[in-house]
Each structure stands twice: as C-alpha cells, then as structure tokens.
Amino acid sequence: MIRIARTLFSFVVVFSLSAVLEAQDSGLIGIDELENYIDLNTSLVELYEFIENGEEIPSDRYYLIPGTVTSISTLDPNPETFYSEVEFSSARWIGQEEIRSYDSLLVFLDPSFVSRLPQRSPRNPPENIIEKNSRGMAVAEYYDILEMPDGSIIPVFIAHIFRNLE
C-alpha cells in the first residue's frame, strides 16, 4: 500500500510539474499561480468531508482525483454529442480492520475520449484505454452531487484529462 501511495504521489508531482513547466514555457501561468487553477491538496476523502459537513465543494478549480474505474456507461458514443459516465472509486483504511470506499462519477464529454472508452474491450487494448478495474488519475472540475437510490450521495465531476496509472 505504501509503494502504491509513493508511486501515486510521484505521478502527481511529475504530472503537475510538467503541466506547470509547459504552461510557463508558453507564458500562460507561473508556478505561484498553479494552485489558483488545480487543487493539489484536496483528496476525494476531503471532498466527501465537505459534503458530509454540508459545505459547498469549491467549483472554481480543477481537482486531481486518483482511483479505480468500477463501471463505465457510454450513453452516447457519437463524437459530436459524446457522453460517458465512469464510476470512480478510492478507498482509505479506517484503523487496521476497516476500509471505507469513496465513490465519484466522472462525466466524459470530450470527443477525444471516444476511442479511450470503447463500447467493447478490444482484444489487444492500447495502453491509454480506460477499462473497468483500471487505476487512473483524473483532472476534473466539480459539477454537482448525485443522490443515489439508497440515499447515499456521490460527487459528480466533469473529466478533462485521464491518465492510466498501470
């Protein structure tokens, strides 16, 4: 578990740093401005705490959300009107014997994801394909809260970038 956390942290740092350096080269933003756009400190667990405490999740920034794909529903595969929902889950140990799952819904609208979220898994899938049970990291903006039939609530995000971690 520690190795996964270190790998994930390294990925976040490298991913964020490369985005900043690329933006600096193009003159878009400085390093000191990064946290105005991407929240590097708030996890999905902390976003759940906002919800449970009745607080609004800030929607003026992007979030880095690590997790595992638990289901994929592509409702419209047409590139012009593409719409796919991916259930994304993260977990945290509570003490030494209990694991709590934190679910979210990633909505993909960008047609560049059509080939990455296929209706059927190809025989020899490319590395960047998003499949059930794959681990990944999303850069997403908060959209809303969805109330499930059992009364639980999950945050909904619009995904803009998705990178596989495996």
Q: What per-residue confidence (pLDDT) applies to 19? A: 53
Per the structure block, which two tokens stand in for 102? Answer: 């934190």
pLDDT digits (tens, 9 = 90+) for 105-131: 999 999 999 999 987 777 887 788 999
Q: What is the pLDDT of residues 19-56, one digit of tens each?
A: 544 544 556 667 677 777 888 778 888 888 888 898 88
Superfamily of domain 35-164: Nucleic acid-binding proteins (2.40.50.140)
- What does DSSP assign to residue 63? E
| Cα dihedral 143, 72, 108, 42 sign | positive
Rounded distance between C-alpha atoms, residue 77 and residue 107, angstroms:
13
Which helix (H) or strand (E) segment holds residue 16: the answer is: helix 2-25
How confident is the prediction for the chain on average, in pLDDT? 82
